[in-house]
Amino acid sequence: MQMFYTSAGNAVEYKLVTDPPEAIYWTTHRLKKSDVQLVSKFNRSETAEIKQDVFDDIISREPNPSKKSTPTNDEIPQGRKAREPEHVKTRQTKQKAR
């Protein structure tokens, strides 16, 4: 599949390489910057900059669970706290045999 990213009039061809390959189509897959591979050759600094631009563009358009969802504030899913015992005497140590 050919994919192109255009910025400032320049078209850059890239491809997404994920493990497993079908993860491209999953909505639960977390896309990483290392999954973006450029087909065109550039020097190291340009490659890093273009990869970041492509990655940011994909993330802004596609759903990406890059952060774990925050839990809701419902009291039921959270662990319940045990009640403090009200009518129980505190345990005292036994006296040593004399």
pLDDT single digits (tens) 27-81: 888 889 999 999 989 999 999 999 999 999 998 887 666 555 555 565 555 566 7
> Running DSSP on this structure, what letter comes out for residue 75?
T
Query: pLDDT tens digits, residue range 9-21?
Result: 889 999 999 999 9
Give the span between the Cα atoms of 50 and 68, in whole angstroms. 27
Instruction: From residue 44, give the alpha-carbon distance in Å to each of 50, 60, 78, 93.
Output: 10, 24, 48, 71
User: Has this prediction a pTM greater than 0.85?
Assistant: no
Nearest Cα residue to 5 out of 38, 33, 29: 38
Which pair of structure tokens corresponds to residue 3? 């994919």
87 has pLDDT over 80: no
Give the span between the Cα atoms of 85 and 29, in whole angstroms. 47
Which pair of structure tokens corresponds to residue 45? 């600094």
